[in-house]
């Protein structure tokens, strides 16, 4: 099975010049955990709820004053629509990410998540579980 068969299209995006407050409102409104950051329809980054909590809220910065471009992850791993789900799962576990933008001819066409992959291919659950359980293992070993 390929990514294009399960990816979400109509992905919500934000500009790097948008404020963190604007990004958080979009995430809340659409009940999503991340926004892809684009300029002129080209993917330039990703901002997640975790980024906002770790980099903005925990440091007591004003979300209405801070720009997405200051805190987005700029090194975004992406896949193509014809990527096999197993290869996408490998990329996620290798890079420790839960979502992959889908790019075709330099244009953002969708996003695929670890949950999407497990729902479509239950046999990949063990592989994805490594990604999901990684934060739990770290907390248990630290505590």
Task: Determine the structural domain holding residue 38 and report its residue range.
Answer: 3-142
> Considering only 22-36, 64-78, 107-121, 128-142, which range has the smallest mean pLDDT?
128-142
Residue 86 banded pLDDT, cuts 50, 70, 90? very high
- Long-range pairs of 102-106 with CB within 8 A, sequence gap ≥ 24: 102/3, 102/4, 102/7, 102/78, 103/43, 103/78, 103/79, 104/80, 106/42
Residue 134 banded pLDDT, cuts 50, 70, 90? low
* Other CB atoms within 10 A of residue 27 CB: 19
* Other CB atoms within 10 A of residue 24 CB: 20
CATH number at residue 121: 3.10.580.10
- pTM, to two decimals: 0.80
For residues 90-119, average pLDDT: 91
* Other CB atoms within 10 A of residue 102 CB: 24
Asked if 11 contacts 110 with a C-beta cutoff of 8 angstroms, the reply is yes
- Specify the DSSP class assigned to residue 29: H
- pLDDT number for residue 77: 93
Domains contained in the chain, number: 1
Bridge partner list, 37: 14, 45
> Considering only 46-60, 80-94, 100-114, which range has the smallest mean pLDDT?
46-60
For residues 105-115, average pLDDT: 91
């Amino acid at each position: 099975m390929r990514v294009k068969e399960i990816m979400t299209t109509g992905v919500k995006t934000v500009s790097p010049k948008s404020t963190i407050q604007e990004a958080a409102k979009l995430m809340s409104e659409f009940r999503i955990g991340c926004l892809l950051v684009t300029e002129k329809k080209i993917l330039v980054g990703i901002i997640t709820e975790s980024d906002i909590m770790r980099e903005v809220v925990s440091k007591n910065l004003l979300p209405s004053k801070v720009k997405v471009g200051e805190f987005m992850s700029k090194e975004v791993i992406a896949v193509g629509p014809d990527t096999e789900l197993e290869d996408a799962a490998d990329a996620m576990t290798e890079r420790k990410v839960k979502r992959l933008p889908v790019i075709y001819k330099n244009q953002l066409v969708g996003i695929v998540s670890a949950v999407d992959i497990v729902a479509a291919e239950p046999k990949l659950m063990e592989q994805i579980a490594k990604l999901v359980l990684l934060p739990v293992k770290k907390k248990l070993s630290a505590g």
